Chain A
């Protein structure tokens, strides 16, 4: 390469000219903003949550009430007025929303993905995909209103006559509807990436389209499907407005019933939990906002305590989802 001195002499070096450097720096700063955003989120959550927990607050010289980490993680009562900040009732509410929405979104989402990737004609797909995107695009505050104004009365009239005005069921239904596109689009991408040779091999063996879809395409795309499940559940955990409006404001642990199985009675989570008002983590955060947040009191700081828990859970799930997608991905060349 070095022999080509003439070319080097004649070439104008432009990579490091002031104009190129300036432009390059500008673009780099833009990209770096995303790192700063993450750093900002972590900094704010950690520094404010640190003033909430007793163990860390004493090092920061915070005066006023604090809550110990153990009480926060194991407390079974959450009461803003009573200054009791146990996160378990809120986790229990979030779990209900997750289970309820997953029961709706996961099967429907996978079925949609199979239909779009294996059965639908390009024309049908061109109409269905934007329609599905609308499900995820409807503002969540509108979903909350739908749940409380239309879905709960319908459930009350036809299925559960004694359902509460605020209840976990209608909130789960709308959250389930809004995360269907998340499951279907990521799963469909995974299914579309399955090479046609595998399908052709199946048909060559005499398999029907049903056999190929369920026996070849779905297993081959399983890593993408699982990662879409985790992402959708993480979205359901972080969903705020729909549950803040429709799920209620009664933080309580999952009620248990029990069945007699001979000598012992086995406890089981009572499904009736869904028919009453509950409060998930995000709902509690919205409610905390209506206590005094300007002064930086205990309610304000507990907001960050719950926030860092929420952030940790969703971040963990996103990382697991990425890991599954890349670790168990079938590589086709």
Chain B
């Protein structure tokens, strides 16, 4: 050892080369970018096939280059010179304008094709009554908790049993868009008001904001119903896209006066698009022969490539997302709260933790087998509330409920299967969000005499909310792209718009698979599937971008 150390030292000094380090560094960068670039190029290929931009007139490209690209770049450049975050405001408002109408479209599909406005409204009222009753009960101090619980349960059950029927049979029905405005516009306005009140630290501002939001929704619906847009679509657009954008603009204008210039960017983009479209129409330049157009998104599927559309699959995906979020979010967040706030270091807790980690690694096709074997076939006749094992010896009829919900390939089974699939992801990400709430805040709450549930409700969940939301949206983004479990539970290649929970399940990735395997014509491969892929990717990226923006904002604040 000692003998060879001098020579090692002599060799080690003076022979350090920069080249190896530099080469290594750039090789690593290249390796990092390789996968991203490969997928980026594939995206470009598929978008090119779907939109076919080179079929347009050169004049069309030139017009939009001059009216849209040049002014946008100029404004963007001058904003980036100003600093003070005005470019960020510009990009954020542009992003809001691009993404929120997509979500509005999704909600509009829900109201237009899947759930009739009157039904949704009647159930919303039926849920609002017990909610109001619970709030009222919480204020009274004379009755005990158990009595309150019983009262709340009675009111909930009674309301759900009688109110929807009653409302649906009222002879005088107001116009549908007004129902939609009441169902989603009123709660949105209330949330906007609460946000404004907190953001401005002024209740009066909150009240004004809520009224303005409700007024905007109503005006939007009225204008939409009078013009050709359609009342429901306009109401949803005003609620889902208009209210957040308005709130954002108001916040920027009033609270960050130095960043106001950033709002110029979306104006320039919108103006450029309108001006470009006007010029192109008057001069007569032909646009691209895009396969991805309004007709593709809104028309039914078909065996011929020309008339094939993705609308039923889109509606199916939206329906699935609704079921998945209703089923997996409460359970996933509840499990995370239990593991982080309630569970001690017992053997059962560790078993649950290990079990969740392993469930996250189970292939999705195996979840499909669970859905097929258990939900679709064993429970085909419904959930055994009063099973035959008990009923037969007593000489009674066994009772099973929900026979039409279960079975091969129903929306209900598909939604539950996907819920179970993303449950581990929801639990793990919610746990991380809850864990990041500083223990000192819990201690402060306990120190004030709060119970555990009060601490969870008033301190932990509000603080962890943005993190939980990020994780759940990412999980939903995973669910929207899943194909294998839906295929395994027996989803057929042909499906319509799901009107009920017992309808055949359909989804965009299923539709793409069906096109890729059963309709082998060249047109499907080079045009229809790329268009479908772009729609699915846009839906997924819109959801992921919301989650990523939320996460970045949340991290900055902490």
Q: Which residues of B contact A322 (CB under 8 A)?
A: 354, 357
Q: A314-325, CB under 8 A of B: which get 1 and which 0? A: 110111001000
Q: Quick check: B28 and A34 within 8 Å, CB to CB?
A: no
Known contacts A31-B334, A241-B483, A303-B369; decide if A20 and B451 are in contact (CB<8 Å).
yes
Asked if A175 lies at the interface with its beta carbon under 8 angstroms from chain B, I say no
Q: Which residues of A contact B334 (CB under 8 A)?
A: 26-27, 29-31
Q: Of the candidates A14, A37, A119, A286, which one forms a contact with B451 in the assembled complex, judged by CB atoms under 8 Å apart?
A: A14
- Segment among B162-170, B178-186, B536-544 that sits at the interface with chain A: B536-544
> In the complex, what residue of chain B is closest to A147 when comparing beta carbons?
B42
* Interface positions of A from 28 to 76, Cβ below 8 Å from B: 28-35, 37-38, 40-41, 43-45, 47-48
* A263 contacts B by Cβ under 8 Å: no
Tell me, in angstroms, the Cα distance from A128 to B149 when the chains sit together. 50
CB distance B331 to A18 under 8 Å? Answer: no
| CB-defined contacts of B537 to chain A, threshold 8 Å | 138, 142
Question: CB distance B363 to A240 under 8 Å?
Answer: yes
Could you tell me the distance between the alpha carbons of A152 and B453 in the complex, rounded to whole angstroms?
Answer: 57
- Chain A residues, CB < 8 A from B456: 23
Are B483 and A293 interface neighbours, CB within 8 A? no
Report whether A18 and B145 are in contact in the complex, using a CB–CB cutoff of 8 Å: yes
Q: Tell me which residues from 115 to 163 in chain B have a Cβ below 8 Å from any Cβ of chain A.
A: 145-146, 149
Number of interface residues of B (CB under 8 A): 94
Residue numbers in A under 8 Å from B38 (CB-CB): 177
Report how many residues on chain A are interfacial, defined by Cβ distance under 8 Å.
94
Tell me if B351 and A35 are in contact (CB < 8 A): yes
Write out, one digit per residue, whether chain B residues 448-490 have a CB within 8 A of any chain A CB (1) or not (0).
0001110010000000000000000010011011111001101
Q: Tell me if B364 counts as interface (CB < 8 A to partner A).
A: yes
Residue of B nearest to A142 (CB): B533
In the complex where A40-B370, A135-B36, A141-B513 touch, is A107 in contact with B31 (Cβ < 8 A)?
Answer: yes
- Report how far A107 CA is from B32 CA in the complex, Å: 10
CB-CB < 8 A to B548: which residues of A? 130
C-alpha gap A231/B362 in the complex (Å): 11
Tell me the bound Cα distance from A210 to B530 in angstroms. 43
Q: Which of A304-332 contact B (CB under 8 A)?
A: 304, 307, 310-311, 314-315, 317-319, 322
Given contacts A17-B145, A150-B42, contact A119 B25 (CB under 8 A): yes
Residue of A nearest to B378 (CB): A44
- Chain A nearest CB: distance from B419 CB in Å? 10
Q: How close is B548's CB to chain A, nearest CB, in angstroms?
A: 5
Known: A27-B338, A145-B529. A138 touches B39 (CB 8 A): yes
Question: Does A298 make an interface contact (CB < 8 A)?
Answer: no
Interface membership of B200, Cβ < 8 A:
no
A142 and B544 form a contact (CB under 8 A): no
- CB-CB under 8 A from A193, the residues of chain B are none
Enumerate A184-240 residues with CB–CB distance to B below 8 Å.
184, 206, 208-210, 213-214, 231, 234-235, 237-240
Out of A30, A237, A304, which one reaches B373, CB within 8 Å? A304
Residues of chain B with a CB closer than 8 A to A317's CB: 361
CB-nearest residue of chain B to A131: B36
Q: Determine the distance from Cα of A27 to Cα of B460 in the docked complex, in whole angstroms.
A: 14
8 Å CB interface, A225-274 against B: 231, 234-235, 237-241, 244-245
Tell me which residues across on chain A come within 8 A of B389, comparing CB atoms.
Answer: none
Query: In the bound complex, do residue B31 and residue A145 qualify as a contact, i.e. CB atoms below 8 Å apart?
Result: no
CA distance A240 to B486 in the complex (A): 12
Q: Is the CB of A239 within 8 A of B533?
A: no
CB B370 to nearest CB in A, in angstroms, measures 5
Chain A residues in 8 Å Cβ range of B45: 146, 150
Q: How far is the CB of A49 from chain B (nearest CB, A)?
A: 10
Query: Nearest Cβ in chain A — how far from B409, in angstroms?
Result: 9
Task: Determine the distance from Cα of A26 to Cα of B330 in the docked complex, in whole angstroms.
Answer: 10
CA distance A140 to B39 in the complex (A): 12
Residue numbers in B under 8 Å from A32 (CB-CB):
352
Flag whether B1 is at the interface (Cβ < 8 A).
no
Q: Are B335 and A112 in contact (CB under 8 A)?
A: no
Q: Please give me the residue from chain B that is nearest to A322 by CB atom.
A: B357
Bound Cα distance from A89 to B27, whole angstroms: 38
Which of B13-21, B76-84, B212-220, B238-246 participates in binding chain A? B13-21
Interface presence of B297 (CB below 8 A): no
> Is the pair B369, A293 in contact by a Cβ cutoff of 8 Å?
no
The reply to whether B370 and A37 form a contact with Cβ atoms under 8 Å apart is yes
Cβ-defined contact, A240 with B484, below 8 A: yes
Q: How far is the CA of A134 from the CA of B27 in the complex (A)?
A: 22
Q: A30-B330, A33-B335, A314-B363 are in contact. Are A142 and B536 (CB under 8 A)?
A: yes
Name the residue of chain A whose CB is nearest to the CB of B351. Answer: A35
Q: Give the Cβ gap from A90 to chain B, nearest Cβ, in Å.
A: 13
Q: Is A231 in contact with B361, judged by CB distance below 8 angstroms? A: yes
User: How near does chain B come to A320, taking the closest CB pair, in angstroms?
Assistant: 11
Contact B481 A138 (CB under 8 A): yes
Determine whether the beta carbon of B358 is less than 8 Å from that of A142.
no
Q: A115-B31, A240-B365 are in contact. Are A137 and B481 (CB under 8 A)?
A: yes
Chain A residues near B452 (CB-CB < 8 A): 14-15, 20, 24
Residues of B within 8 A of A140 (CB): 481, 483-484
Instruction: State whether the Cβ of B234 lies closer than 8 Å to any Cβ in chain A.
Output: no
Using CB atoms, name the residue of chain A closest to B46. Answer: A146
Interface residues of A in 270-290 (CB under 8 A from B): 282, 285-286, 289
> Is B20 in contact with A19, judged by CB distance below 8 angstroms?
no
B36 & A142 in contact (Cβ 8 Å cutoff): no
The docked-state distance in angstroms from the alpha carbon of A35 to that of B359 is 9
From the candidates B24, B423, B451, name the one contacting A34 in the complex (CB within 8 A). B423
A275–B548 alpha-carbon span in the complex (Å) = 39
Docked pose: A15 CA to B451 CA in angstroms: 7
**Given A108-B31, A132-B36, A141-B509, A31:B335 Cβ within 8 A:** yes
Residue in A43, A146, A214, A311 whose beta carbon sits within 8 Å of that of B362 in the complex: A311
Chain B residues, CB < 8 A from A314 = 361-363, 366
Most buried by B among A14, A24, A149: A149
- CB B544 to nearest CB in A, in angstroms, measures 6
Q: Does A294 have its Cβ within 8 Å of any Cβ on chain B? A: yes
Chain B residues, Cβ within 8 Å of A171: none
Give A315 to B16 CA distance when docked, in angstroms: 47
Chain B: minimal CB distance from A16 (Å): 11
Inter-chain contact A112/B32, CB cutoff 8 Å = yes
User: Could you tell me the distance in whole angstroms from the C-beta of B209 to the nearest C-beta in chain A?
Assistant: 32
**Chain B residues with CB below 8 A from A128, complex form:** 32, 36
Please state if B355 and A38 are interface contacts (CB–CB under 8 Å).
yes
Check B420 against A37 for contact (C-beta < 8 Å): yes
Q: Is A116 an interface residue (CB 8 A)?
A: yes
Indicate if B386 sits at the interface (CB-CB under 8 A): no
Instruction: Contact check, B149 vs A22: say whether CB atoms are below 8 A apart.
Output: yes
Q: Contacts A132-B35, A137-B478 given; indicate if A285 touches B358 (C-beta within 8 A).
A: no
> Is A144 at the interface (CB under 8 A from chain B)?
yes
**Cα–Cα distance between A24 and B483 once the two chains are bound (Å):** 36
Q: Could you tell me if A34 and B46 are in contact, using CB atoms closer than 8 angstroms?
A: no
- Flag if A111 contacts B32 (CB, 8 Å): yes
CB < 8 Å neighbour of B339 from A31, A180, A303 = A31
- Could you show 7 A-B contacts with beta carbons less than 8 Å apart? A34-B424, A40-B370, A107-B31, A112-B32, A145-B46, A235-B363, A237-B363
Nearest 8 A/B pairs, CB to CB: A238-B363, A139-B481, A30-B334, A111-B31, A44-B373, A27-B338, A115-B28, A240-B484
Beyond the given A19-B451, A30-B338, A119-B25, please list 12 additional residue pairs across the A-B interface where CB-CB is below 8 A.
A35-B352, A40-B374, A41-B362, A112-B32, A114-B28, A137-B481, A137-B544, A139-B482, A142-B509, A145-B529, A177-B35, A282-B365
